Amino acid sequence: MTMSQDPIAFEAWSDNGSLGVRLRASVMTAIRSFCVSADPNETGGILIGRYVENHRFAEIVQAVGPTPDSRAGRTWFWRGTKGLQDLLDRLWINEGLYYLGEWHYHVRSSPAPSLTDDEQMYEISRDPKWSCPEPVLLIMSWNGSSAWSTAVFIYRRDRPCVGCSIQVASTT
């Protein structure tokens, strides 16, 4: 699929306008279908993409689903690591894409990060293994019928998390 056939579905800026996140429609669709298949449990994975416009936008072009060693319940998700390093190596070499952060599903609740979510994201921002000092967290929530909400947060090492705007969308 080329970029022109895959329009931007979500674009949000941090409150001070210094950082933005952009998502392609195919990514939104992929995340929603992972959520529908996992429901009523949480699920999640990683976000792949690149920084554009002089590092001011994190453009997410792919969402990877749960690894086989991931574990989840109705109110928690633990993302495994099986196969991710190989995948990231391949994406970098073949397409110049890299790890941008995490996504997960909140079942029948708001897309606000929990304390555990915050802790994990700050940990990632400090972990040299991910080489990602400003990881993005995308939380998708679904009411079980037609209403979806998406919220995006950017965590910056040693600085407060910045929340981008929340988008509420309905599918018919």
Q: 11, 42, 53, 95: which one is catalytic?
A: 42
Q: Which residue has the tokens 């495994």?
A: 80
Binding mask of the shown chain, residues 51 to 90, with x at each position contacting Zn ion by CB under 5 A: ----------------------------------------
Q: Provide, rounded to whole angstroms, the least separation between the CB of residue 43 and Zn ion.
A: 11
Please give the residue whose beta carbon sits closest to Zn ion in the complex.
Answer: 117
Here the tokens at position 18 are: 């210094």
In the range 87-116, which residues lie near Zn ion by CB under 5 A?
114
Q: How many residues bind Zn ion (CB under 5 A)?
A: 2
What is the length of the chain?
A: 172
Task: Classify residue 114 by its DSSP letter.
Answer: P
Amino acid at 24: R
Neighbours of 22 (CB within 10 A): 20
Nearby residues of 2 by Cβ (< 8 Å), 6 or more positions away: none
Span between the terminal Cα atoms of the chain, in Å: 24
Taking CB under 5 A as the criterion, the residue among 117, 153, 155, 164 binding Zn ion is: 117
Q: Please say if 59 is a catalytic residue.
A: no
Q: Does 134 bind Zn ion (CB under 5 A)?
A: no
d(CA 124, CA 55): 19
Nearer to Zn ion, 26 or 167 (CB): 167
Q: Provide, rounded to whole angstroms, the least separation between the CB of residue 1 and Zn ion.
A: 29
Nearer to Zn ion, 26 or 67 (CB): 67
Nearer to Zn ion, 59 or 117 (CB): 117
Amino acid at 49: G
SS3 36: helix
Which residues sit at the interface with Zn ion, rule CB under 5 A? Answer: 114, 117
Residues serving a catalytic function are 42
